[in-house]
Structure 1
Amino acid sequence: MADQPKVHVGKVVNAARGSVRAMDGFAALNQIVEAARECIHIHEVESTKRARLETYEATEVARIRAAESVLKDYFTQAFAERRTVFEEMFTRLDRALDEGNGEVLHTVVRGIVDIAKTSPLADVGDLSQIRAALDDPDQVWEL
């Protein structure tokens, strides 16, 4: 006789136990989609914030560099003027020493000391206000 087909014997598992209903699967899919949408939205918002901060930073750095340039030019001019004044004062000091003129010597030394006491920025304004502004994180600098 020919080979007879084998009959498989086994146990049928109850499909109802531990199974997920179609509605539960659909709800889980909706939760995944919603979480992905929220993640994308947050990423877009944060990327926009980051771009704004980068633009703000670039603008502020450019403003600082412009102010730095102006301040450097100011100091160059102010100290060039002071250098000329000091050179003239020391020339007069040498002349007074050579001539032995104590009165001129006293006046010239007093002038040198008075000039040395003053800063080129002293006449501009209260530097403590600038320091307070530098320490204030909410300070807006206008040039």
Structure 2
Amino acid sequence: MPDQSRVHVGRVVNAAKSSVRAIDGFAALNQVVEAARECIHIHEVESTKRARLEAYEATEVARIRAAESVLKDYFARAFAERRSICEEMFARLDRALDEGNGEVLHTVVRGIVDIAKSSPLAEIGDLSQVRAALDDPDQVWEL
């Protein structure tokens, strides 16, 4: 702890005369103003870019949701059709077994295998064509 009873003695020094000229101060002020203008301009440009990206994102999300809706509907219909076909094929298989009809049994089993090999996605075709169709605003989707 410093000794508080001790008195400091010294002399006051006059401040040195300013070595900065008025013109230099004005130039520095101009630099600050110019830097602020540039900062504002960059902020506006970047805000515009951000707004464009947000609009692009919203558009693509809407397109994805529309495609999702179409794809869900397609799958629902394709698998419903496959389900009814499979049910019918297995009913025929049961009848062929009950009747002991080997020829019908062979044909039905071959049909079941063929259905199992195929995929509703294979019927869509080339996915790049699907993407091109999704990108085409004039595309008409028939369900």
- Do these two structures clear the TM 0.5 threshold for a shared fold by scoring above it? yes
CA distance in 1 between partners of 2:92 and 2:32 (Å): 87
CA distance in 2 between partners of 1:29 and 1:116 (Å): 79
The residue number in structure 2 matching 1:31 is: 31
The residue number in structure 2 matching 1:76 is: 76
Cα distance, 1:113 vs. partner? 0.5
Change (3 A) 1:10 1:108: closer
Change (3 A) 1:121 1:14: closer
The residue number in structure 1 matching 2:54 is: 54
The residue number in structure 1 matching 2:122 is: 122
Structure-to-structure mapping, 1:93-132, within 5 angstroms: 93-127=93-127, 129=128
CA distance in 2 between partners of 1:88 and 1:44 (Å): 66
Structure-to-structure mapping, 1:129-140, within 5 angstroms: 129=128
Instruction: Say which SS state the counterpart of residue 19 (structure 1) adopts.
Output: coil
Q: CA RMSD in A?
A: 2.3
Change (3 A) 1:31 1:92: same
Cα distance, 1:124 vs. partner? 2.9
Change (3 A) 1:24 1:88: same
The residue number in structure 2 matching 1:141 is: 135
Gaps of 5+ in 2: 1-10, 138-143
Structure 1 vs Structure 2: percent identity of aligned residues?
78
Equivalenced residue count is 125
Cα distance, 1:142 vs. partner? 3.1
User: With structure 2 as the length reference, what TM-score do the two structures score?
Assistant: 0.78
CA distances 1:68-126 after superposition (whole Å, capped 9, x unpaired): 00010011111111111000000000111111111111110100010111112323323
Gaps of 5+ in 1: 1-8, 134-139
CA distance in 1 between partners of 2:54 and 2:104 (Å): 60
